[in-house]
Each structure stands twice: as C-alpha cells, then as structure tokens.
Structure 1
Amino acid sequence: MTLLERRDLLKLLAGAAAGVAFQEKAAYAMETRAVAKDPNETKSSKGPGMEAPRNVRKASKNRTPLAPNAFDMLPLGSVRPAGWLRRQLEIQATGLGGHLDETWDDVGSNSGWLGGTGESWERGPYFLDGLIPLAYLLDDDRLKAKAQRYIDWTLTHQLPNGMIGPASNDDWWPRMVMLKALIQYEEATGDPRVIPVLMRYFAHQLEALPGRPLRDWGKFRWQDNALAVIWLYNRNGDPKLIELARLLHKQGFDWQTDFADFKHTQRITPEMIKSKGDDGLGDFALSTHGVNNGQALKAAPVWSVVSGQETDRRGLEQMLSALDTYHGLPNGMFSCDEHFAGRDPSQGSELCTVVETMFSLEQSLAILGDASLGDRLEQIAFNALPGTFTDDMWAHQYNQEPNQVEVSLHQKPWTTDGPESNLYGLEPNFGCCAANFHQGWPKFAASLWMASQDGGLVAAAYSPCVVHTVLGDTPVEMVEETEYPFRGSIRITVNPETQIKFPLRLRIPTWAKEAKITVNGQSHQPPAQAGFAKIDRVWKAGDAVEVVFPMEPRVKRGGFRNSVSVERGPLVFSYPIGEDWVKLRTRGMTADWQVFPTSQWNYALAMNGTNAHGLVVEEHPVGGTPFALNGTPVKLQVTARKMSTWRAVDGVADPVPESPVTSDETEETITLVPYGAAKLRITAFPHLKS
C-alpha cells in the first residue's frame, strides 16, 4: 500500500473510532443452533478414511440463465486435508493463524466487526475469510469459537435497510470479504440465518448502488461481490440478483479492456503515479496494484457466467499472458511490491497477492475447466506460499523475492513499499497481509476436488485428502494418499456406499510426460482431454486408482536476462543461502526478524543442452514440517561456478548477469532445495557458456 493510500486509510480508521454507532460486544459463548435441512444434504458413508461429516452436501450448479461452469466447487467441508497437508494446516492453526486475535488488536475483542471501536474496515473480514475454512477443515472447536463471535455479531446487527458491518463506514469493499466468509460458514454449518441476511443485504445494495456507486478498492474488486451474488442466485433464483450482478459489472473497473491494450509493461514508480495526478486511489495506481490484479484474474471468468460470452471466457488467458510477459517471476507469481515491478527476480510479490491469486485460480479453474490453471495454482501453493513464512508460521513477509539475499531494513528494491517490506514478522510494512494470509492453505485444500457437469468428480489439484460428497443419491468417499509434490505417486481409493457409475477426471500436468494410470492394478491409459484423463466406469468400494507422474528435473529457460530456473514436478528449486536470524523487536506472541547471509550465493549453473550438468536427485522422508530447510524431502545436486562480478548492493542482489556467462572460478557441486524451504535464496541463475 502506498504512503498516500495509508494516509487515507488512517483517516478512515480515525473516523471509525469516532463515529461507531454500535457498542455492543459479541457474546463469547457459542449458542446451540438448529441447522436448516437442505435438499442437497444426506447421510454420509464412512469408509476407511477419516470420519465423514455429519451432513454432506452436493455441489450446487448454476441456474439458468447463468452459463454452466465446467466444474462446480464442492461445499466447504467436503474435502478434508490429510497427511502432510493436514500437518501444514495444523502448523497454521498453532501459529499466527490460530492466535492472531490474541496478539494483534486489529482483530482483537475491540474490532469494529465485534461491535467495538477498533479497526472497522477490511482486517476483521480478512481474518475471518481464512479462519472459517481453517477451523472447519481441521474440525477445531477452539477456532470455530473464535470465528463464531464475528459471525454472530454480523448476523445479529444487520441494519433495517439491510446493511451489514460496522456503521462507522459504508465502504462496499470490506463487505465483499465478509460475504465470502459468510458463504463458507453457511456451507460448513447450514446456519439458517445466513441466506436471509444475504438476501436483505443484496436488496439494499441493488437499491443503493445507483446513488452510491463502487469506488476505489470496491470498484477494482467488484468480481468478489459478483461471485457472492451468483452463489445466492444458485440457491434462491431471485432474478433481482442477476440485475445486481450486471450493475456491479457496469460500475466496476473494466479489466478486460485494460488488458486488451496492456500498457503497464514497465516497473511502476511513485513518480509515474504522481505524474498521473493520482493520489494513490486513482485508476492508474489501482490498476497497477498487485493485489487488485491477483483478485481480478477471476473477473472475466466470473462475468462469463453471467454474459455467456466466449470472449469473456478467454479474458483470463489474456491477463496471464501479459503478466507473465512483463512481470512474471520463476515462482509462478508476478512482481508487485506494491505495484508492477518488471521481471527482475530481485523484485517482490506481496503475500496478499499470492493468496488472492490462488483464490482467483481456484474459482477460475472451476468455471473454465482449464487444466493449466491447476498447474499454476500448484506452483504458487507449493512455492510462493510457503516461501513467505517462517517454518512455524508465526511470522510472514509482506514481500518475498525469488532472488532474496538479505531480509533487512532497506528501502530498495520496492516500487512503492517501505523498508520493512521483506522482514519476517507480525505485520511488516502494512497489516493487510497479517489479516489475509490465512486463506491460502485452507482454501487450497478445499479446492482439491470438484464436481463435473456429467455427474462425476475431478481431481483439480493434488495433495493428501479425504473427500465426502454425494453423486446422484449415492454418498461417495474418495481417499487420496500421496506425498505429492515431493513425490510423483498418487493413490486414490474410491468408496461409494453402493456401486455407482460416474466419470473420474484426473488432471495431467503439462510437465508430466508419460504419466501412468492403473485401476485395480490394471493399466488404464485414457486419452487426456483438455488436460484431464477421464475414467468412466462402475465404481465399487475399495476400487483403487494409482497415478504416477514422472518427476524428472527440468531447466526452465527464458527468464529475466536469459536466466534459468530449475523445477521438478510442481516444485521450483533454489540455492539456500546461509541464514543468520536477528530479532528486531518482540511483537506480543511473535517477533519481527531480519535475516542476514552467512554464505556466498553468486553462482552460475553449468548447462548441458537443455539440462543442468551433473544434476542428481536426493529424496528424503517427508517430515512434520514439510517445507522446512532442515530435513527437506528432496534436494538436487547441480554443477556451478561462482560469478565474482555478481554482487548485492544495500541487501539486494544486482540484476542477474546476462546469460550465457563465463567464469574462471573452480567448478563446484551445489545443493538446491524447494523454494519454500529457503528463506534466503537464489532462484533465477545465470548459466555458463557451454
């Protein structure tokens, strides 16, 4: 967030403290509430996996006149993490994600979203948006109780006109986040209060928007609001909701037109923003803002559900192509620290942008059925997401860099952010990421499986999990056992309550050449259609599907200044620089940290055609902290030479030397580890002239 944006927000929060209308505190005790019977609910089977939820809901399909999705998201709670993924969510729950309200006043008991006089804008909803899926996927009563306080206050303090949230501001934007939280809560619990509250709120919004249109953040994030409107329409069929969706699109920023003639091809500077006469909340600043673009990736797909137009369905492809071309980084993200920053891997990406990009890809994959979106989702989830946290998830960065050689108080290299931007801490640089990071892992886990339009199931992304859903009238359990992304083998056990015929689709990553599939030990090689292998058969309890994706290391060329990066499966690999952690300050239950290098890092890789020379794979057990440097499950050995002319200035690596390069230094074998394990790292390398 720019300095100008921060000033505006501070004014907003000051007004919130002075003008709050509701002073009632939400009750801490959980009430026992009746759960509405839903026609999609049924008793679940209980197979050999984890215990099934008490009520299992079918996926909801789009009603006419909405265009059908390729796949439909399963309701929250249908997919439960297992194995290493469950352990990762448990780390989040025992870390900052499960204790933030105990150590950070912005989401504490005085929050405006609990009826207090504290922060009353986006931070309470952000926190809840990740806390709810974390709580219900782990079935954690402690976390559920934390979330329930926010939920109960919001549902019981709706104004007579339908408005929700603190009365100290009427900004549409934070309510968009709260809508996402309420929807997840309703899917997980069936609480009968949610849908009537949403109906009244959307009726108010339809009436109020013509006179009080979307502005600044809400204008650029309208698609999140529209997604919630579509969710409710699919449940009550109110035609006024289609009218509201069209009005949101009309008032919102036109992302498709912006990317059809994409002009933001260079690093954005404060001077460029000022030259536009922009106060930080104008169209230029907000259209080049990283988080806005991460959220906007789903704008065209979401709108295509309403418009039914193929041109809208192709809008995401156009956006991703432009972002990759001008701002793409080797960890699957685009640079944005805080605004577009070019392709130099010493530039950063904001954590909010990482988790919002993941959510956009999850929703867009369901709408479009494009398997390549699953590839990108996994790359970000398994690299950029863990790469910006400490192993225990008690501290995070605001900005991460693929080539991150120091974490310290330097103004460089950020476009518009401040000197704390890559510290590990409670709320470095700005507190939005402290509130918002929580949605990353839980929503990824919830999106691993989806329902297809022909009555089947889709493995959209891969990680250990157990699925409970209903196909037709038959409860079905799917148990996915795997150490993916560290290994390439996946075993899926199908457990329908009774025999049932349905198609099972398995996403085949573009890098997985010669993937092998067996069903009950028999080879089954269905042709991949649009990136998915389809197995259509009668399934009975205990049927086993095994998938093996070859995990050959790959050298990816064509990076910034012709640099290269190394990948294996969905993992990106980095050279881990020696780390010296220095506490900057204590922050309640956590602390802010600087990290200084203790080893040299300026290596160029030896190349042999399209492969790294002498590359050897080492596999080790997957431990209790999957992305920790100590005990990392996989390492790569590669030949390299130091580049004495490649240095750092003010804690920032100089741009990667233009490849190919030469070096008279002694040839060495260096070890690369998964990107998320190395907190100081080199990910984009120059390569030696062969």
Structure 2
Amino acid sequence: MFPAIFLISGLAPNKYVPLPLGTVTPKGWLLDQLILQAEGLSGHLAQFWPDVQKSVWIGGGGDGGLHERTPYWLNGIVPLAFLLSNANVTLNPVVGVYKAASPNSRVALNASRTANAKVDCGHMFPSIHDDHKAWAQHGDHKHPLLDVDLLAQVECYIGYILDHQSPEGWLGPDDATDAGAPWGRAYVLLSLAMYAEAKPEAAARVQAAMLQYNLCLYERLQKMPLVSWAQQRWQEMALSVVWLLDRGAAGEHEETMLTLLRLLHTQGSDWEAWFEMGTFPSQAGVRGANNHNVNNAQALKSAAVLYRFTTNASLATLSRTRVEKLDAHCGLPTGMFVGDELIDATHSPSRGIELCGVVEAMYSYTVMFGTFGEVSTLDRAERIAYNALPATWASPKGGDMWAHQYLQAVNQIEAKYNDPHVWTHDGPDAERYGLEPNYGCCTANFNQGWPKFAQNIFWLTPDGGVAVGLLAPAAVTLPPSAGLGHSEISVDTEYPFGDDVTISAKADTAPFPVYVRVPAWASGQGAAAILIEGQPSRDVSALNGTLVVAFVAPVGKTLVATLRLKPALRIEEWAKSGYSVHRGPLMYSLQIAANFTAIAHHYGDDDMSNDYDTDAASPWRFALVANSDDPSATLSFEQRTLTKGAAPFNHSGFPVVVHATVRSLPSWGIVTNAAAEPPASPACASGSCGAPQSVELVPFGSTDLRIGQFPLA
C-alpha cells in the first residue's frame, strides 16, 4: 500500500505516485541533455530575455498581458536546477559580444519597453540592455562573465514571489478585475510545489502560501467566474489544490479545497464532452473548449484530474478514448498531432505542431498514467520525448538548445520566414529556428520538457514497490515518505539509442518489488527478456505494454537485472499516403542537409542565441523502396556508438542509423513553400522514378530539415 501521506480523505488515490523532486539524479546521455539545456536558453533567459529578466513577477515591467511566461519558465527551471544539483553539475559562464537584434525583432522592442523597470533580482542578472557604457569597459564590447547558477535563479524568483504575497493571499501582480488572471498563477503554484518537495525545510512556508492563495482564489471565483485561458486550463489550476490535499496541507480547509476543485471544474471548459465529440470543430465547444493545440494538449489529462475528486469510474474510459479520437482526427507518427496553432482534420506531415503542445502533452500523459495506471500513456510520453521534443531544436553547430521553432513539421524542407505558408493561424516566422519565433510562449514553456521527463522516470506502486516507468539513465534515493527507508535504484542505459536497460536496486529496511515497463512495441517472441545473473533468461515479450516485476530488491545487497530488448524494424502507414520508419521508440527520417543563415543575434558568442533562416542543401524528393509487411527485406539497422559527452540528438555522428533504398521522385511538388503531401503509393508504378540508391535514415529528433513520411516506391 502507499504510505498514508498519499491517501488523504476526499480524493481518490493515484494508481502510481511519482517520486518527489530532489530524489532523482539524471545520468548518462540524459544528464548530458539537461546540461545542454542549462547551457543554452534555459540557463540564460534570466540574464537577457526581458520577459524573464525583468518580469512583473520580480517587480519589473516585462511579461505583460497574461503574465504567463515567467511561470512557464519557472515550471521547468525549478526541476532542472535540482536535477543538476543532485548530479553535482557546475555550469560554465557565457562570455560573448552582444549585438543588437534585427530591426523587426520583438526582443529589441521588449528591451526598450522594459529597460528601466525595477528588478529586485537585477544584481544577479546584469542587463545587456543597460547603458552601453556600463559594460563597454570589459573590452571589445564584451558582456561580463555571467555565472549560470540555476539554484540562485530559483531562489531569487521563488523568494521574491513569496515575499510579495498580498495580505489576502494573491500571488504576483494584482489583476483583481481580470477573470482570466488565475491562469498565470497555475504554473507558479506547480513550481512552488516542486520547490517544496526539493527543499523540505521550506515546505511549511510554501504550503501555507499555496493554501492562502487558493483560499483567495476560492473567494474571487464566487464573484468573478473563470473566462478565456483560465476557463480552458482549469485542470492546471486544480493540480496545485490536489497536491495540497495529497499531503494533508489543507488542514481545517480541506472541505473548502474540495469545493474549490468542484468550482474550477464547473466553471472550466467541459473537455470530457469536447473530446467525446471527436470532430474538434473550429468554433468554441462546450463551455469554451476549443481546438487550440496547447489547450487540447493540457486537457488530455482533464479526466485524470477530475477523477481524483469525483471517483467517477467512467473517466478512465474517457481518458483513453480521447487519445484514440485525436489520433484518428489528426495524429502524427511522432506521437503528436497536427496543431499549427489550431488542430485540424488533417494528417499532413507538412503541417506543424507547436512546441508548447509537445511539452504539455508529455506532461499530460505522465499525469494520466499516475492516475489510471494506463501504461500506454508512458509509451506515448516516451515516443514524444524521443522524437518530437528534440526535433524542434537546431543550430549550425548541432545538438545544442539555443534556437527552437514555434512549429515543427514531420516533412520539413526549409525552416525560415515564409509567406505564404502551409501552417494556419500563425505568422510567417513560425517555423524559423531562433529565440522567440512567432510567440515567446514556447521560449518560456519548453523548459519543462526534459526536466519533467527525467523526474517521472520512477514511480511508487500500490504494493509498496517502485516502477521504472520511463526508460532513461537515472538513479533515485527513496525518501522516508515512501516507507522504504533510504533504498536506492539505479538505471544504466543508452536507450533509446541502445537496447539494454540495466536496473540495480538495494533495499534499506525490507525487500520490495522493482517493476520495469516493457514497451508496447516489444511484441513477438524474444522481443523483450529479463536477465538476472545466475538465473535463466525470462521472456517477457508477451507482457509488452505492461509493468513487469523485474526482481525483488534484497536488503543490504545490490541486485542487478537487465531488460534486454530486441526491437524489430517497422513501417507505420498514415493517412495522406505517408509511411514512417520506426525501430523501438525512435522514428527514423531522411536528413536534408541544411544551410543556416543567421538573421539576428541576441546573446553570447556567434554560436549562441541567434535567429536562423534554414534552407535545404540536398535532395529530398524520394520514394522509399520497402514493403510495410516485411521492412527488414529492404531496411537494415546499424548500431554505432553513443559518444560520451556528445549531444545526444546531434545532426552528425549518429549513434544509430537505418540503411534504406530510395528512388528519386521528381514529381513530388512544393505547395505554399512546403513539401506537398506524399504522392500516392506505389509512387513509381508509372516508371517516373530514378534508379535505386542507398541512403541512411537517422533519428528524427536529430534532424534540422527532414522527410519523415515517405510514399512507397
């Protein structure tokens, strides 16, 4: 059974419980990825991007309007800071020449608007927008060395927010007349919750502040019901209330908090009815539910959140069927859906999905797993993390996290300012790689993607065990609240680039079962086996798509087991005549060589914060020579080496490739500056294709420009 802390009266218990922030330590390639994130935009936004550096949340004038960008940023920077602190990572400072942004850049406009704003944390993050003379003394217009101390950033922002809570309990700027204002607080509350988990000495103060805020919100909602983003994202606000109740932190206000949950739901959009419609109309649906891609990505978990305080058993089915309906309507082979601002009834691989939608969907699927225990939702979170998430970053150097897109596409033959463009409801720079293409929301919100993925690797199980739910290298020391003493579990793996996942565990006070997720794709005899030294190999491929007991951790002795996976190549057929190539969790694509042209520079040296226009420098019109029923007849997999310290998702030095045969297809056209939908298969039946030629297909997430969906020759 779960320890009592997770069984507070009034809420249905989660099926699985994630370990609190501060217990997990990333390792291997995952640690490398998190360091790259911190050394890129994540660690430096507080040093130069006005919406964070001079935010209204710390007394400045930036982050106007919805006041959501600093909350978005904190929601990722808090877990990133503590994950890297656990790994004893010290980040290097950045020194470089500051150049003005391009005349049309929003950064230049934001800078002038907020340059003189009051910032109490400003002594920590000197402004590159201050008077030229203030930093010219460093020679050759070099910016002073700035230490990247993520924990200091967290303490500064969290401390300021807590110190400036209003007497009635409101957090942040007072938007007393704005019924949409609660949305801007949702991720501040989640950030506070994670901060309290990682710093037990601060938990009492943080919990009191969160409770005081939610009591204030309860009073305000009586007079001013939710509207707009707050209405559509009610479940994000409900999560902090659930967190308080799960920990018994509501005290005598438990019933009020339960009433607040019901109030948020009744005032919020009815996502259950919306998803059951299955048609996703362009107009507003039930109580403001609509087809905005991020709203839908966040609302994937609404049934899971609702279940916690209603115990309505039908919500588990509604949670599952919405995923199926979204896939059928506009699903993509990366695990995402078409959502170039608004979701649409198309599976076109040239249409995009927003980066905000990617990270929100990843988080939603982990919440859904925790509540209902549907292992398929972890499969989906992993598919998105290992394909869609890294694919939205690019640079001439490759593998870093300084330039992202607002929209990414499965078939992406250029990434630049385009007018006209195939995507809908977004501006002409939405596919450009840069600091804040189209809107800055993704610049702030991307930060949660990798850190929350890392934090959700390990889960407590109902029978007193621990499950390795997401397959990635990390270790965890269980907290006393788990009821297992200071037991330790470690995962060593190069997955998704390797096929073995080694798990070691040692119990502190009593033996406990250690589970591991066997991916759903690991089907067929011998596709998945568990090996323990001195014991016969145990085939678990028939249990694919479930959590399997790997072993029982003994007291005082470390036991080691290996989940050995043998993925088969597979070809998935999609609408619009598209076929995608997969092996294990990775999708493979044809890399298009890219020419990068820097059109603006914002911070650091010439390899750091730039905006780029990116053009194709190699052919891309090809049909794939393959049989979807027998992929291995024409495709072959090669395992190479994951270079230690190299960027895991780099556009060179690929650790894994698929060798394939293609034929040139000159008739594959371009429509509105994007690849037309793949021609009907078989595309070469009329003899219009070129001779067969060999190519390498590489991990989709490693490419800057790509073809991910092919016609078959």
Partner residue in 2 for 1:181: 191
Partner residue in 2 for 1:563: 578
Partner residue in 2 for 1:422: 431
Shift of the alpha carbon at 1:668? 1.0
Partner residue in 2 for 1:459: 468
1: CA distance, partners of 2:628 / 2:266 = 51
Q: What does 1:153-552 align with in structure 2 at a 5 Å threshold?
A: 153-167=160-174, 170=178, 171-190=181-200, 191=202, 192-236=204-248, 238-264=254-280, 287-341=290-344, 342-390=346-394, 391-411=399-419, 412-470=421-479, 471-498=482-509, 500-513=510-523, 514-522=527-535, 523-525=537-539, 528=543, 531-535=546-550, 537=552, 539-540=554-555, 541-552=557-568
TM score, norm. by length of structure 1: 0.86
Shift of the alpha carbon at 1:535? 4.2
| Letter of the structure 2 residue corresponding to residue 182 of structure 1 | L
1:161-192 residue CA offsets vs partner (Å, 9 max, x unmatched): 11111125650101011111111111111213
CA 1:534 to 1:162, structure 2 compared with 1: closer, same or farther past 3 Å?
A: same
2: CA distance, partners of 1:348 / 1:59 = 45
1: CA distance, partners of 2:350 / 2:150 = 37
| Letter of the structure 1 residue corresponding to residue 413 of structure 2 | V
CA contact (8 A) 1:59 1:451 kept: no
CA 1:538 to 1:640, structure 2 compared with 1: closer, same or farther past 3 Å?
A: closer
| Letter of the structure 2 residue corresponding to residue 543 of structure 1 | L
| Letter of the structure 2 residue corresponding to residue 261 of structure 1 | M
TM score, norm. by length of structure 2: 0.84
Q: What does 1:585-624 align with in structure 2 at a 5 Å threshold?
A: 585-589=600-604, 590-608=609-627, 610-612=629-631, 613-623=633-643, 624=646
| Letter of the structure 1 residue corresponding to residue 430 of structure 2 | S
1:299-333 residue CA offsets vs partner (Å, 9 max, x unmatched): 00111111111211222212111111111111110
Return the match for 1:96 from 20, 25, 41: 41
| Letter of the structure 1 residue corresponding to residue 437 of structure 2 | P
Which ranges in structure 2 are unaligned for 5 or more consecutive residues? Answer: 91-148
CA contact (8 A) 1:576 1:673 kept: yes
Partner residue in 1 for 2:588: 573
Partner residue in 2 for 1:669: 694
2: CA distance, partners of 1:529 / 1:58 = 29
1: CA distance, partners of 2:286 / 2:418 = 29
Partner residue in 1 for 2:63: 119
CA contact (8 A) 2:280 2:290 kept: no
Shift of the alpha carbon at 1:529? 8.6
Shift of the alpha carbon at 1:60? 4.6
Q: Secondary structure at the match of 1:564?
A: strand
Give RMSD over aligned pairs: 1.9
1: CA distance, partners of 2:216 / 2:433 = 42
CA contact (8 A) 1:459 1:505 kept: yes
| Letter of the structure 2 residue corresponding to residue 581 of structure 1 | F
CA 1:286 to 1:65, structure 2 compared with 1: closer, same or farther past 3 Å?
A: closer
CA contact (8 A) 1:371 1:508 kept: no
Shift of the alpha carbon at 1:469? 0.4
Shift of the alpha carbon at 1:643? 1.1
CA 1:399 to 1:244, structure 2 compared with 1: closer, same or farther past 3 Å?
A: same
Partner residue in 1 for 2:154: 147
1:630-652 residue CA offsets vs partner (Å, 9 max, x unmatched): 11110111111111110224430
1:547-575 residue CA offsets vs partner (Å, 9 max, x unmatched): 11112211112x12232100011000110
1:448-506 residue CA offsets vs partner (Å, 9 max, x unmatched): 010011110011110000111045242111111000001110111112234x2222221
Q: Secondary structure at the match of 1:314?
A: helix
CA 1:93 to 1:529, structure 2 compared with 1: closer, same or farther past 3 Å?
A: closer
Shift of the alpha carbon at 1:58? 7.7
Q: Secondary structure at the match of 2:478?
A: strand
CA 1:187 to 1:428, structure 2 compared with 1: closer, same or farther past 3 Å?
A: same
Partner residue in 1 for 2:674: 652
CA contact (8 A) 1:605 1:687 kept: yes
2: CA distance, partners of 1:144 / 1:650 = 45
CA contact (8 A) 1:370 1:530 kept: no
Of residues 611-620 and 286-295 in structure 1, the stretch that sits farther from structure 2 once superposed is 611-620
Shift of the alpha carbon at 1:520? 3.1
2: CA distance, partners of 1:58 / 1:423 = 48
Shift of the alpha carbon at 1:111? 1.0
Q: Secondary structure at the match of 2:487?
A: strand
1:405-428 residue CA offsets vs partner (Å, 9 max, x unmatched): 011111311110000001110000
Shift of the alpha carbon at 1:606? 1.3
2: CA distance, partners of 1:537 / 1:649 = 57
2: CA distance, partners of 1:383 / 1:537 = 33
Q: Secondary structure at the match of 1:287?
A: coil
Q: How many residues align?
A: 616
2: CA distance, partners of 1:263 / 1:629 = 38
| Letter of the structure 1 residue corresponding to residue 182 of structure 2 | W
CA contact (8 A) 1:516 1:547 kept: yes
1:583-620 residue CA offsets vs partner (Å, 9 max, x unmatched): 11112331100110011101111123513342121222
Of residues 368-377 and 600-609 in structure 1, the stretch that sits farther from structure 2 once superposed is 600-609
2: CA distance, partners of 1:323 / 1:339 = 13
2: CA distance, partners of 1:509 / 1:484 = 12
Q: Are 2:598 and 1:583 equivalent residues in the alignment? A: yes
Q: Secondary structure at the match of 1:117?
A: coil
1: CA distance, partners of 2:445 / 2:235 = 18
2: CA distance, partners of 1:477 / 1:215 = 46
Shift of the alpha carbon at 1:221? 0.5
Q: Secondary structure at the match of 2:681?
A: coil
Of residues 502-511 and 174-183 in structure 1, the stretch that sits farther from structure 2 once superposed is 502-511
CA 1:520 to 1:420, structure 2 compared with 1: closer, same or farther past 3 Å?
A: same
Return the match for 1:128 from 74, 90, 115: 74
Q: Are 2:679 and 1:679 equivalent residues in the alignment? A: no
